[in-house]
Amino acid sequence: MSEILEQIATCCERGKMNAGSPYPPDMRGQDGVDELVRKALDDGVDPNDILTQGLMVGMSNVGRKFSNNEVFVPDLLMAAKAMTAGMDHLKPAFDSGAATHKGVFVVGTVRGDLHDIGKNLVRMMMEGGGYEVVDLGVDVSPEQFVEAVKEHPGCVVGLSALLTTTMVNMEETVKQVKAIDEKAKVLVGGAPLTQEFADKIGADAYSPDPQGALDYLATAEA
């Protein structure tokens, strides 16, 4: 991997957004993802390489550390912010078709549920993993998920729930999504969920954290 891509990966993992950012304190004054991605593009580095060998490596590292309880929610949020600073520069390349996404991930918090912090972390990890994310927001009905699946054939659907009273709404969503596309993969997550519950409602996978969701996508898309 080239030196600048390694630097981008490190800055993304550490949440170093730009030179002016005071976080993390030990990288104060150094270039961040913002400057480094711009420089890499100016130097002619392929946008796909910047994403896959720079930003995605950084997000993957921080995601694994989060799964292992070595870093915590604020670290993940800072890494995601840094990644977004880089993605802003890469967006024109993706929009023009010069660079490609790995696939589409439709995500939302299920009907009746307004909790979105965990769902947003999952979204950010997916974006960092190179997926185009369609975020339907919170309180999303089964019908809204179905519409999104129709609009994005071949997408993977992610459902989040934080309440014992709303996780039951996942079952209807899984049922309706499978009714219009039996091959559509549905991944579920959220604090009250278990693998047993996911199996019971017919979801294809359960993950307790964003990295697990990303790992699942890698297998689902393969």
Answer yes or no whether residue 119 interacts with ligand B1M by CB under 6 A: yes
- Say which residues have a Cβ less than 8 Å from residue 109's Cβ, sequence separation at least 6: 115, 116, 119, 137, 138, 139, 140, 159, 160, 161, 162
Q: For the window 162-201, what string marks contact with ligand B1M as x by the rule CB under 6 A?
A: xxxx---------------------xxxxxx---------
CB 47 within 8 A of CB 32: no
- Decide: residue 160, CB within 10 A, 0-12 exposed, 13-18 middle, 19+ buried: buried
Answer yes or no whether residue 218 interacts with ligand B1M by CB under 6 A: no
- Say which residues have a Cβ less than 8 Å from residue 5's Cβ, sequence separation at least 6: 40, 45, 49, 50, 53, 54, 57
Using the rule CB under 6 A, give the single segment among 39-47, 118-126, 147-155, 173-181 that binds ligand B1M.
118-126
Residue type, 82: A
User: Among 207, 214, 215, 217, which residue sits at the site for ligand B1M (rule: CB under 6 A)?
Assistant: 207
Site for ligand B1M in 122-141 (CB under 6 A): 122
Q: For the window 68-97, what string marks contact with ligand B1M as x by the rule CB under 6 A?
A: -----x------------------------
Binding positions for ligand B1M, rule: CB under 6 A: 73, 107, 112-119, 121-122, 158-160, 162-165, 187-192, 207, 209-210, 213
